[in-house]
Amino acid sequence: MDFTRLIPVIRRLALEAGDRIMEVYNSPDFAVKSKSDASPVTEADEAADALISAGLRAIFPDVTLITEEQADSHALQASTFLIVDPLDGTKEFVQRRGDFTVNIAYVENGVPLRGVVYAPAQGRLFYTLADGVSVEETGALAKDAIGAVNAIKVSNPDNAALMVVASKSHRDAATDDYIGKYAYKDMKSAGSSLKFCLVATGEADLYPRLGRTMEWDTAAGDAVLRGAGGQVVRFDDHTPLAYGKAGWDNPFFIAYTPGVELKK
């Protein structure tokens, strides 16, 4: 993959999808349907998926494309692929809480090498540059030109006073019990893949997820975190979270900044 070609494309598509999402978000009302797994889907999910998919297929026709909203792609298997969650955090979107994201990632041999996470309601845009370094872009976020970017880097954690981030919509007793094994100074809740980005920027040190996720939920955030010096590992054995698994389901995982003393 030519990353100098890839990054401007996925950045632009994320921004364009964000515009479509915000059109629906700011409308007086929108319909919410249930998918076969009972998760919600809106016209914003579907419009963003169509826009991103068309853009990626036009420019990278030979690369396998996996998206959350296209069930026919879920049966595919590939070692190299693009993976998309056009609207991660649909529950936050439906409740108009703002912390939902557009996610596009490129995976090769199980590793999410590059990715973009865009939170349109918050105006925050995170992505990996062609060289793999992660940045947050500030300013106008023009579609056709990359603006000012700030390299982001994980924190230098204090294991006696960690900052923890956890899911806003999927928090449970098991997660709280696990977090309780750490000495933390504060804990914040966030929706969608923004949790990875908060670790990537040093705004949090630890994000444990003891619940079901799919690869499209995590790949872009994982790429951004890796590019900022962080890691994502399986909860059970602390080995790196791998991608391209049959069915696209993830095991429980922990995203963290190196230096955090992980607990079992």
> 78 and 142 share a domain?
yes
> 17 and 120 share a domain?
yes
**pLDDT in the model for residue 36:** 59
**pLDDT in the model for residue 75:** 83
pLDDT in tens, 247-260: 999 999 999 999 99
Q: Which residue's structure tokens are 């900022």?
A: 228
Mean pLDDT of the chain: 94
Between residues 55 and 37, the one the model is more confident about: 55
Total domain count for the chain?
2
Would residue 156 count as lying in a domain?
no
Residue 144 scores a pLDDT above 90: yes
Read off the tokens for 171: 């928090």
> 144 and 172 share a domain?
no
**pLDDT in the model for residue 218:** 98
Would residue 196 count as lying in a domain?
yes
**pLDDT in the model for residue 35:** 67
**pLDDT in the model for residue 37:** 63
Domain that holds residue 208: 162-256
pTM: 0.95
Query: Which residue, 151, 179, 197, sits at the end of a domain?
Result: 151
> 166 and 147 share a domain?
no
Of the listed ranges 69-78, 79-88, 125-134, the one predicted with least confidence:
69-78
Residue 38 scores a pLDDT above 60: no
> 237 and 215 share a domain?
yes
- Average pLDDT over every residue of 136-160: 96
Between residues 225 and 264, the one the model is more confident about: 225
Cα–Cα distance for residue pair 207/198, rounded to 1 Å: 9
**pLDDT in the model for residue 65:** 97
CA atoms within 13 Å, Cβ hemisphere of 173: 0
**120-133 b/e (C-beta count within 10 Å ≥ 16 → b):** bbeebbbbbbeeee
Residue 96 scores a pLDDT above 90: no
Query: Which residue, 123, 151, 179, sits at the end of a domain?
Result: 151
Residue 168 scores a pLDDT above 80: no
**pLDDT in the model for residue 194:** 96
pLDDT in tens, 219-251: 999 999 999 999 999 999 999 999 999 999 999
- Average pLDDT over every residue of 152-167: 96
What is the domain-level CATH number for residue 88? 3.30.540.10
- Average pLDDT over every residue of 44-60: 96
Query: Which residue, 151, 178, 208, sits at the end of a domain?
Result: 151
> 7 and 97 share a domain?
yes
